[in-house]
Structures are given as C-alpha cells and as structure tokens.
C-alpha cells in the first residue's frame, strides 16, 4: 500500500477483508453453517429419491454417523478441511435447482449447492443415484435425512478420473476410505466400476493398495 496510508486506514482495510471472509460459509461439518446446510438440504429434498450427495461432505457425514468413529475421528481426519460447496448429483438438475432457488436457502449463510449431472461419471452416475441410501444423520447440530452413496460408490467418485486423483482433498478422502475399518468397500464391485479405466485401476492398486 502507499506509504502515506495511515494505521487507521490499514486497520479498516483489514477489517473489510475479515468481514468478507466471515460472510462466507465454509469448513467441515463441525462448523455451524455447514451443519445448517445439511439440515436445509434434508428439508428441501428429504422425500426425493433422484439425488445423492457426493464430494467431501458425505464422507464426513458417514464418519460422524458411525458408532465406531464420530466427532473425534472426524476432527482428526478432516479438522483442517474447508469447503464452500456441497455437491448434489441428480438426474433432475433443473428441478432441484429450481427448488433451491425458490427456497429460503441463503447463499451467505449456507454452502453453495453444486448440482452435478450423473454424466460426469460415465456408465455409473445414474446407478450411484439409484443405489444411494437415505440416511438419518445426527451429530453436532445436524439432524437430517439425506441420500448418500454406498461406500463403494462414493469411493469410486474419488478415483474415477484424473482431476479427482490430483485433488489433495479428494486424494486424502480416497486414502482414508481405502484404509479405514469403518468403510465397507466391495473390492469386486469397485474393480468392475473402473473396468477400462487403466489409470484409475493403477492408482487403486499402486497408491491405495486396494
């Protein structure tokens, strides 16, 4: 900044930046705005069967919900994770988007909803939605019914393409899922899902030893 700027101006500039940051909902599921987001999504889509939550948040919810894991494991594994969106994979992107836009969902106070077309996961996307399980999630201030993929299907979304495998957060999720005793990964089904995806197969075998 210009050397003639006063200390007061510096402080005001810093406070403006800090206020802007504080207006943004992000974090792991221990953060209030993320909890509110999950509850809101449960309210909006709890009766529907045409979507599944994917990405990092559903894995955290699975950990939070597991009787042998819970908040302690969640904070150890994901305590530094900061995300500002929730991925909703659906066969009805337009309809779910419309419900979202016409609701009281606050873009300031909640995570952004990122609606994902199942074609992102060729040959498997619609199956992942069909196989998703309606789960009652409880913990912290979360009390919601949400649809989440099976452990195997969610694991597949973490390794199916190069972009996913290069993302630090997604890579951590895949490594955690491959090694955690609370995850129920069907190895035979997984290898069928990645059939023809040589790089994904190599990644699973070489780096995840799965």
Check residue 9 and give its pLDDT: 56
Does some domain include residue 119?
yes
Does some domain include residue 20?
no
Does some domain include residue 123?
yes
Q: What is the CATH number of the domain that holds 105?
A: 3.30.460
Does some domain include residue 2?
no
**Tokens at 48, concatenated:** 């529907």
Furthest C-alpha separation in the chain: 67
Does some domain include residue 15?
no
Say if residues 156 and 166 touch (Cβ distance below 8 Å): no
Lowest mean pLDDT among 46-50, 58-62, 118-122, 205-209: 205-209
pLDDT at 56 over 80: yes
3-state secondary structure the chain: CCCCCCHHHHHHHHHHHHHHHHCCCCECCCCHHHHHHHHHHHHHHCCCCCEEEECHHHHHHHHHHCCCCCHHHHHHHHCCCCECEEEEEECCHHHHHHHHHCCCCCCCCCCEEEEECHHHCCCCHHHHHHHCEEEEEEECCEEEEEEECCHHHHHHHHHCCHHHHHCHHHHHHHHHHHHCCCCCCCHHHHHHHCCCCHHHHHHHHHCCCC
Lowest mean pLDDT among 21-25, 168-172, 173-177: 21-25
Identify the band that residue 23 occupies on the pLDDT scale cut at 50, 70 and 90: low
For β-strands 51-54 and 85-90, DSSP reports them as antiparallel
pLDDT at 22 over 90: no
What domain range is 51 assigned to? 25-206
Taking alpha carbons only, the member of 98, 116, 109, 123 closest to residue 58 is 116
Does some domain include residue 155?
yes
Question: What's the pLDDT tens digit per position in 88-138?
Answer: 999 999 999 999 999 988 888 999 999 999 998 888 999 999 999 999 999
- What is the average per-residue pLDDT within 195-210? 86
Going from the C-alpha of 72 to that of each of 57, 139, 155, the distances in angstroms are: 16, 12, 22
Check residue 6 and give its pLDDT: 52
Cα within 13 Å of Cα(201), Cβ side: 10
pLDDT at 5 over 70: no
∠ CA(178), CA(184), CA(48), 5° rounding? 115
Does some domain include residue 11?
no
Q: pLDDT > 70: what percent of the chain?
A: 89
pLDDT at 1 over 50: no
pLDDT at 17 over 70: no
Question: What's the pLDDT tens digit per position in 133-171?
Answer: 999 999 889 999 999 999 999 999 999 888 778 888 888
Identify the band that residue 19 occupies on the pLDDT scale cut at 50, 70 and 90: very low
Give the whole-angstrom CA distance, residue 8 versus residue 6.
5
Q: What is the total count of domains within the chain?
A: 1
Identify the band that residue 40 occupies on the pLDDT scale cut at 50, 70 and 90: very high
Does some domain include residue 14?
no
Identify the band that residue 13 occupies on the pLDDT scale cut at 50, 70 and 90: low
């Amino acid at each position: 900044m210009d050397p003639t700027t006063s200390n007061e101006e510096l402080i005001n500039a810093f406070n403006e930046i800090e206020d802007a940051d504080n207006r943004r909902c992000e974090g792991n599921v221990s953060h209030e705005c993320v909890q509110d987001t999950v509850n809101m999504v449960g309210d909006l889509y709890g009766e529907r069967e045409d979507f599944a939550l994917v990405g990092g948040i559903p894995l955290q919810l699975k950990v939070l919900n597991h009787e042998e894991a819970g908040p302690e494991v969640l904070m150890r594994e994901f305590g530094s994770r900061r995300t500002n969106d929730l991925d909703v994979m659906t066969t009805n992107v337009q309809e779910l988007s419309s419900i979202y836009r016409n609701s009281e969902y606050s873009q300031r106070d909640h995570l952004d909803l990122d609606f994902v077309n199942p074609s992102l996961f060729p040959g498997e996307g619609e199956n992942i939605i069909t196989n998703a399980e309606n789960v009652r999630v409880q913990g912290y201030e979360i009390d919601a019914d949400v649809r989440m993929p099976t452990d195997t299907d969610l694991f597949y979304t973490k390794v199916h393409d190069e972009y996913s495998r290069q993302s630090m957060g997604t890579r951590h999720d895949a490594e955690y899922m491959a090694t955690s005793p609370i995850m129920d990964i069907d190895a035979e089904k997984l290898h069928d899902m990645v059939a023809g995806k040589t790089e994904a197969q190599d990644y699973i075998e070489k780096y995840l030893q799965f």
